[in-house]
Structure 1
Amino acid sequence: MNKKVILGASIGNCVHVAGIINFLSIARVQDYETIFLGPATDISYLYQKILEIKPNIIALSYRLTPNNALEILSEIEKFRNNSDLSDIRWCFGGTKPVADVARKFNFFDYISDGFDDIDDCVCFLKGTQKDDNSSNYKNNIVDRINEKYPYPVLRHHFGLPSYEDTLDGIKKIAEAKVLDVISLGPDQNTQQFYFNQENMDRVNDGAGGVPLRNKEDFIKLKEATMHGNFPLIRSYSGTADVFKMADLLIETLDNAWSAIPLCWYNELDGRGNRKVEISIKEAQGLIAYHGKKNITVEINEPHHWSLRDAHDVMSVFMAYVSSYNAKKFGVKNYIAQYMFNTPNTLSFSMDLARVLAMVELVESLKDENFNIFRQVRAGLNYLSPDLDVAKGQLAATTFLSMNIRPHIVHVVGFNEAEHAATPDNIIESCKIVRGVLRNVVNDHLDLTINPEIIERKKQLIEEANYLKEFICNFYKDYDDPLANAFVLSDCIKRGILDAPHIVKNKKIRGILETRVQDGKCVAFSKKLGRNICERERIEELKSNGNLD
């Protein structure tokens, strides 16, 4: 089957080509053959090539004075009216004043004035231009990803202490058409006590998110998404009655996907009262529950260890364990989240090496029954409370994370360190990210080939594999150790899986020490006075009696 052809040109006396070249690059990603006639293309030559090539789309660019544009476009309109070009679609790009002139001509199907978005361009190329009444917006995350890739789907957290403000905010965000997925953040009372509201401390209403107290509260928020670009909506999981909460989210929100921590939201982090082993078993059951319903699952596990200053090997290993459990318990579509800048003192190069090691191990599990989608985000503790600085940081880490070609960008609002995100903050943050995407999606700049990054990635994979082999051998009498709730909880209690800042008690040691050195987060031995590898760390656990 022959590819569709786009014929492009900067017309008249216009020599500016950057905009149309970018458009043609986007078109090639959408599987078009592109032909560019160059700058300052004479109109008669343009006619000749149109009749000769008979393209599917003609893309014109003009960025000079509006009056000149009016004269040139009038001439093109006469040619078009006198030729049999009814099957050809036309598009135009220019500055806003020139684009306003182009809008006077009714033969353009798409006009770019610089204020439009990549999504608009892709929709035109796919022949699915959208408006508030369109049914073309995909209503599940896998279809949205497949429709847009290599342009990532954007997700952002949102939930204000006021229910009404949250409801109005979702409507405003949907109208802005800059966000694909709203991740609803319920308050802690909702997450922990929704099904036992008599236990809620009402002083904490609105703490950490939006208070939701009945089904109608959820349903109204879903209804608020049903215009603009029809963003999907999902919610954070509960920390108690997790199966009831899963059913509620599916029924009311058509939950875009479920995010389930494997080892957390329990006594380990103080976000719940469940014992570690019980919560791991429940998490595995919840993963299997969504797998049976063919609902996409994210196991937001690795960054929980890094946020508590575990060394890089730990987050790499737990990324593998997370995906291993997802596959084991029947998930078909899996979202692997990679939080950059965690800890926030990592260097960009060593941070990228850490994430690349995660990606390689995670995607070693991919097969025809287990699809993996990469999701990236800035670190929770990375952004500065100085909002101008934070905007630069958000752009910088987005650029870095695009090196792993993500399917989803979890946008962290630039305001995160200073205040909870308002709708305006979210819209601005998404525009900052989209500004980065304009320049990098079609570029071939690749930081992953840097020798130092490759060497660090290799080292982390080797260390993570050592840890995996040790656990599997140490617990060889247990069925499938990496997916065994007792084994994983016992590893935490013994310090095999560890982080400096977990909640400590008689059962959970939290004895790991780490340092950030040369941009890497490494395990550190006070006894030896230096960094240690996994073999040495395990030997210290043995010598201290933790593995008896």
Structure 2
Amino acid sequence: MKKYLGAAIGNCVHVGGIVNFFRLVEREGHETYFLGAAVSIDRLVEKVLEIKPDVVAIGYRLTPKNVEPLLKELEEHIKSKKLDNIEWIFGGTKPVADVARRFSFFSTIFDGTEDVDDVINYIRGRQLKEVKLYYPDNIVERINSKYPYPVLRHHFGLPSLEDTIEGIKKIAEAKVLDVISIGPDQNTQQFFFSQDKMNKDLDGAGGVPLRKVEDFIELYKASRRGNYPLLRCYSGTADVFRFAEMLKDTIHNAWCAVPLCWYNVLDGRGTRPVGESIAEGQMLMKKHAEWNIPVEVNEAHHWSLRDAHDTIGVVMAFLAAYNAKKMGVRDYIAQYMFNVPAALHHKMDLAKMLAKVELIESLEDDNFKTYRQVRAGLASLSSDLDVAKGQLAASTYLAMSLKPHIVHIVGYCEADHAAKAEEVIESTKIVRGVIRSTLDGMVDMTKDMEVQERKHELMEEAKYLLDTIKNLYEESEDPWSDPKVLEDIIRRGIIDAPHLRGNPSAKGVLETRIVNGKCMAYSKKLNRVMTEKERIEELLNGEETSVEGHQFCKKIVLQSC
């Protein structure tokens, strides 16, 4: 524990900076002594001699020329009274801080451009200038070094490899982002190891074209500057194990992001059958667990983006985490995508996320730790970029209610075009501004009565659907992680989404409506929204009218055993 003494000196009455700084200092377990505003140099020195602090924090926010004589006077006292064994730090406006930099007795100077995570790093004994030494090179350590300030992540990948490399350099040097998620084009994800199958007309579609192992190495080299951001990349949709090993060996993939039920014929990102891709996804989770690399199963929002009702979103969030744990994953990154569907009301959206959190974190034990990652929904941002900036800020404020470990920032411009480096930096600064305003004294929206009521309602509906899956497939050793069962519940519509209509690998009969800000299952037969029990009964009753369909389902159940 250290002793901190602080004051605004001379005729400066602006003490907010020191007060907020000391609040962080106390949170880290240190002792503080605050002398107040307009403290003379003589009184400051007198108290330094009396209290014998380890650190003295000086604030001044007035005219730059007026601070210089005060600091000269202080410098004389430090020399004559041999106070140079104390750590002296300064905080002020940028012009005043520039004057303070002329005095060598200050070990650290804050000029207002730092964010809370910089200040926390300083308090924890990490000098702001010692960048390379103190930026952790794995995601769990970086989370632990910053929390409660979240790690910040942004997607980045331009149609040109050269532009992407230069962009990563700019982002790293800006020191605003902790994790850069490389966005490869679809050709990379699907055909990296069989490039003869690539459609060259689609090069750069959806991300950066990466054609050689050396391309990934160059991206990593570009990130070795500034605050040394971690890199990560989405999984491949074919040759998934070779792709994963390459990411581990080239960009030191910060964590694996793999879907449970997607990147196949369901979404057209690959040609794998659903059951096969589920089994491969599980084995990919297991492989990363063996490598001791954290895993994210980006599953639930894929259903919500396709207008599945909230209950399915909650259930698939749980099943994603359940399968990761089953595969031996120790560090699990749970992604909570807000604003999907975009018409959800904020209260109901928060309730949905709280239900996911409670179910996912019920799986935690000594061998399974979860981390909360929040983000805005892509489809929720306006193509009017000024409006989108406001939407990004609003979504971030709501998401901070979850006290996240990671904020996955969505560029405000994504509804119009892929973010360039400058827009990544700007979006990140918008989010950092929101986070700065939430860490102390944020209104706790999770306690709202309507939020809690909806959360409990979703918990009950989710448990009913999970129990239904177990009861329908009793012959299976573990229906929640059985690839054949998971494939079959999609085929039968037990897990479904309106956007899957016409997809031969799904039922595609689910109807949903937004009612009072909730996404609910809807029955055309009843002409109203319905509970999960009613939905499942209507679905299974429809199956019973088809003997052929019933026999097919029974056959699938037996095959899964």
TM-score greater than 0.5 by the shorter chain = yes
Greater shift in the superposed pair: 32-41 or 187-196: 32-41
Deviation, structure 1 residue 72: 2.0
Assess if the C-alpha contact under 8 Å between 1:375 and 1:406 holds in 2: yes
Match of 2:219 among 203, 218, 221: 221
Moved over 4 A (4+): 130-133
Task: Indicate the residue corresponding to 1:422 in structure 2.
Answer: 420
Q: Letter of the aligned partner of 1:307 in structure 2?
A: L
Task: Indicate the residue corresponding to 1:471 in structure 2.
Answer: 469
Task: Indicate the residue corresponding to 1:287 in structure 2.
Answer: 285
Match of 1:10 among 8, 11, 14: 8
1:16-27 correspondence to structure 2 within 5 Å: 16-27=14-25
Match of 1:508 among 506, 509, 516: 506
What residue ranges of structure 1 are gaps of 5+ in the alignment? none
Distance across 2 between alignment mates of 1:116 and 1:61: 15
Task: Indicate the residue corresponding to 1:107 in structure 2.
Answer: 105
Distance across 1 between alignment mates of 2:121 and 2:496: 47
Task: Indicate the residue corresponding to 1:141 in structure 2.
Answer: 139
Match of 2:305 among 287, 304, 307: 307
Greater shift in the superposed pair: 263-272 or 442-451: 442-451
Distance across 2 between alignment mates of 1:63 and 1:115: 14
Deviation, structure 1 residue 122: 2.2
Specify whether residues 507 and 193 from structure 1 end up closer, same or farther in structure 2 by C-alpha distance, changes over 3 A only. Answer: closer
Assess if the C-alpha contact under 8 Å between 1:132 and 1:227 holds in 2: no
Match of 1:403 among 395, 401, 404: 401
Q: Letter of the aligned partner of 2:383 in structure 1?
A: P
Assess if the C-alpha contact under 8 Å between 2:15 and 2:37 holds in 1: yes
SS of corresponding position for 2:380 = coil
- Normalised by the length of structure 1, the TM-score is 0.97
Deviation, structure 1 residue 507: 4.5
Assess if the C-alpha contact under 8 Å between 2:84 and 2:105 holds in 1: no
Q: Letter of the aligned partner of 1:357 in structure 2?
A: A
Task: Indicate the residue corresponding to 1:61 in structure 2.
Answer: 59
Task: Indicate the residue corresponding to 1:155 in structure 2.
Answer: 153
Distance across 2 between alignment mates of 1:239 and 1:507: 17
Specify whether residues 54 and 504 from structure 1 end up closer, same or farther in structure 2 by C-alpha distance, changes over 3 A only. Answer: farther
Deviation, structure 1 residue 445: 2.5
Match of 1:211 among 199, 209, 212: 209
Does residue 255 of the first structure (1) align with residue 250 of the second (2)? no
Task: Indicate the residue corresponding to 2:76 in structure 1.
Answer: 78
Distance across 2 between alignment mates of 1:133 and 1:26: 21
Assess if the C-alpha contact under 8 Å between 1:377 and 1:409 holds in 2: yes
Q: Letter of the aligned partner of 1:75 in structure 2?
A: E
What residue ranges of structure 2 are gaps of 5+ in the alignment? 551-561
Deviation, structure 1 residue 510: 1.0
Task: Indicate the residue corresponding to 1:325 in structure 2.
Answer: 323
SS of corresponding position for 1:109 = strand
Assess if the C-alpha contact under 8 Å between 1:131 and 1:229 holds in 2: no
Task: Indicate the residue corresponding to 2:169 in structure 1.
Answer: 171
Q: Letter of the aligned partner of 1:118 in structure 2?
A: V
Distance across 2 between alignment mates of 1:23 and 1:276: 53
Deviation, structure 1 residue 506: 4.1
Specify whether residues 71 and 396 from structure 1 end up closer, same or farther in structure 2 by C-alpha distance, changes over 3 A only. Answer: same
SS of corresponding position for 2:520 = strand
Does residue 35 of the first structure (1) align with residue 33 of the second (2)? yes
Match of 1:457 among 455, 459, 462: 455
Distance across 1 between alignment mates of 2:298 and 2:41: 56
Percent identity over paired residues? 58
Distance across 2 between alignment mates of 1:8 and 1:132: 24
Specify whether residues 294 and 310 from structure 1 end up closer, same or farther in structure 2 by C-alpha distance, changes over 3 A only. Answer: same
Task: Indicate the residue corresponding to 1:344 in structure 2.
Answer: 342
Deviation, structure 1 residue 216: 0.7
Deviation, structure 1 residue 132: 7.6
Distance across 2 between alignment mates of 1:359 and 1:169: 35
Q: CA offsets per residue over residues 23-71 of structure 1, 9 Å max, x none?
A: 2222233332333222223433322332222222211111111222122
Q: CA offsets per residue over residues 434-476 of structure 1, 9 Å max, x none?
A: 1112121233431111111111111111111111111111111
Does residue 374 of the first structure (1) align with residue 372 of the second (2)? yes
Greater shift in the superposed pair: 334-343 or 93-102: 93-102
